[in-house]
Amino acid sequence: MDPSPQSPPTKKRKMATSTSTSTAAAPAVVQEHQFPLPPILTHPSASPPILITQGAEGRLYKTTFFSPDIPCALKYRPPKPYRHPVLDARLTKARLAFEAKVLERCRREGVPVPAVYAQNAAAGWIAVEWIEGAPVRVKINEWLGQRPKNEEEERSAAGQDHGPLIELMKRIGAAIAGLHRTGVVHGDLTTSNMMLRPHTKKKTTTSEQTNGVSKEEEKAKLLEGDVVIIDFGLANQSQSDEDRATDLYVLERAFASTHPRAENLFEHLLESYKQSFKKGASVLHKLEDVRMRGRKRSMIG
């Protein structure tokens, strides 16, 4: 999932965005992939595409756009073999077109999301800005990994030296508030769908970071950076408290199951959301209802 340790592209060829057919698809590169490349990536390219992850929705490739020094993320939604072809085509096309639309809207409103470079909804791909850094999930787990595991110790440590993590929770809350302000709900908020983009443009590797920096400073730096929300594949346009609250509820539950040991810090995220968003208080009120319904759900065996 972590896109940062990938080796930088070396070959200097241009990624073709035209639909002209080409025989120059690099077979050596294709063989490295577990999956066949989407047609768009079989055109002669500035750099060999790197398969970053196979998410639930599709595959994410790192490639370049237009010029070899503009890295981009190409998201490809292959046909799902399990899904009825009619249903599959309908879903893929609608979701990709909508994803592009929502990203453009967020971008216009200044919400930190990747910029859209190009898309072809019928062919199942969208090319967006490459976000440096690591998913928030990875960063939080790295941070928690340095904590005592024993529950007793954890309890005594709670709230004391989780300072940087609490700060991060607040930044996440503010980012979601910004998103909701534009009338967009994400639909799949998890800590995997947020990147922590380092402040410095310069790309640093882990080994460089440890050089001459004390362990404490390094640890404090771990959670620095801008929160960038990614993967709008399930996004929707909505102004309703209900949908916004559901968005937060999905994240709350994903957070509790992914980072059970930091579950108690989620309130900081909600508090910051409330402060950054005029309608925050009424959304949080609605969240109570959504939670209640959630609990009521476990009924018949």
| Residues contacting 166, CB < 8 A, separation 6+ | 265, 268
DSSP three-state, residue 146: coil
Instruction: Tell me phi and psi for residue 42, to 5 degrees.
Output: -90, -5
Tokens of 228: 């960038």
113, 121, 189, 287: which one binds another protein (CB under 8 A): 189
CB count, 10 Å around CB of 138? 17
For another protein, give the closer residue by CB, 30 or 70.
30
DSSP string of 82-103? TS-HHHHHHHHHHHHHHHHHHH
CB count, 10 Å around CB of 146? 9
Report the candidate in 169, 179, 170, 152 with the shortest Cα–Cα distance to residue 255.
Answer: 169
Q: Which stretch binds another protein (CB under 8 A): 43-51, 125-133, 158-166, 245-253?
A: 245-253
5 binds another protein (CB under 8 A): no
Q: Which stretch binds another protein (CB under 8 A): 123-131, 202-210, 256-264, 280-288?
A: 256-264
Q: Which residues in 201-240 contact another protein (CB under 8 A)? A: 234
- AA identity, residue 77: R
* Pairwise CA distance, residues 234 & 274, whole Å: 24
50 binds another protein (CB under 8 A): no
188 binds another protein (CB under 8 A): yes
Q: How many residues interact with another protein (rule CB under 8 A)?
A: 39
145 binds another protein (CB under 8 A): no
Q: Which stretch binds another protein (CB under 8 A): 38-46, 65-73, 98-106, 185-193?
A: 185-193
48, 187, 225, 280: which one binds another protein (CB under 8 A): 187
Point out the residues that are catalytic: 188
Instruction: Tell me phi and psi for residue 117, to 5 degrees.
Output: -95, -45
246 binds another protein (CB under 8 A): yes
Q: Tell me how far, at minimum, the Cβ of 297 lies from another protein, in Å.
A: 6
Report the candidate in 125, 136, 227, 229 with the shortest Cα–Cα distance to residue 184.
Answer: 229
Q: Which stretch binds another protein (CB under 8 A): 14-22, 39-47, 102-110, 258-266?
A: 258-266
Q: Tell me how far, at minimum, the Cβ of 244 lies from another protein, in Å.
A: 12
34 binds another protein (CB under 8 A): yes
Q: The tokens 């002669």 sit on which residue?
A: 44
Q: Tell me how far, at minimum, the Cβ of 74 lies from another protein, in Å.
A: 18
Rounded to the nearest 5 percent, the helix, strand and coil shares of the chain are: 45, 15, 40
Q: Which residues in 53-112 contact another protein (CB under 8 A)? A: 53-57, 80-84, 86-87, 91
Judge contact between 247 and 180, C-beta under 8 A. yes
DSSP letter assigned to residue 134: E
297 binds another protein (CB under 8 A): yes
| Residues contacting 290, CB < 8 A, separation 6+ | 242, 245, 246, 249
For another protein, give the closer residue by CB, 32 or 218.
32
Q: Tell me how far, at minimum, the Cβ of 204 lies from another protein, in Å.
A: 25
6, 208, 260, 285: which one binds another protein (CB under 8 A): 260
List of residues contacting another protein (CB under 8 A): 1, 34, 53-57, 80-84, 86-87, 91, 187-190, 192, 234, 246, 250, 253-254, 256-258, 260-261, 293-301
